Amino acid sequence: MQKHVLVIEDEPNIIEAISFILSRDGWSVRTHSNGVTAVETVLARKPDVVILDVMLPGKSGYDILRELRDLPETRDLPILMLTARGQTKDRELAERAGVSHFMTKPFSNAEVIEAVRALVAPVSDPP
């Protein structure tokens, strides 16, 4: 069964790159660019994984992450957070908010594919 990823990112080049590499790897990719409506979009689309940018129009990725972690239906949803600011404090903030994996831009195609696959591996490989 095809896995679904929702990319919440507002930078067209990043959206295009991630969509291309994940689609080529067999993922169904949907995108969203607005921080304000990101949580309701996640709830409506029910992705297997979310790739979430930190800096979005209307609401930060950290706020979106906290909101998703507060909801029972998205508490355990794998979330890969992307940021151009990879300082320790940014990573710690994401970890405190409940991020599954944290990655800094620029990233390699292989890093994204590896991280996304790893996030769904426990779900797709039953004991």
Residue at 127 is within a domain: no
Q: Write the pLDDT tens digit of every residue in 4-54.
A: 999 999 999 999 999 999 999 999 999 999 999 999 999 999 999 999 999
pTM for the structure as a whole: 0.92
Q: What is the three-class DSSP state of 12?
A: helix
- Reading the block at residue 35, the tokens are 């921080």
Model confidence at 127, in pLDDT bands (50, 70, 90)? very low
**pLDDT of amino acid 122:** 57
Would residue 97 count as lying in a domain? yes
Q: How many domains does the chain have?
A: 1
Q: Which residues of 35-46 are buried (b: 16+ CB within 10 A; e: fewer)?
A: beebbebbeeee
The answer to whether residue 29 sits within a structural domain is yes
Judge whether 56 lies within some domain: yes
Query: What stretches of 54-118 adopt beta strand conformation (E)?
Result: 79-83, 101-104
Q: What pLDDT does residue 84 have?
A: 84
The parent domain of residue 22 ranges over 4-121
CATH of residue 82: 3.40.50.2300
Residues 101 and 119 sit within 8 Å (Cβ to Cβ): yes
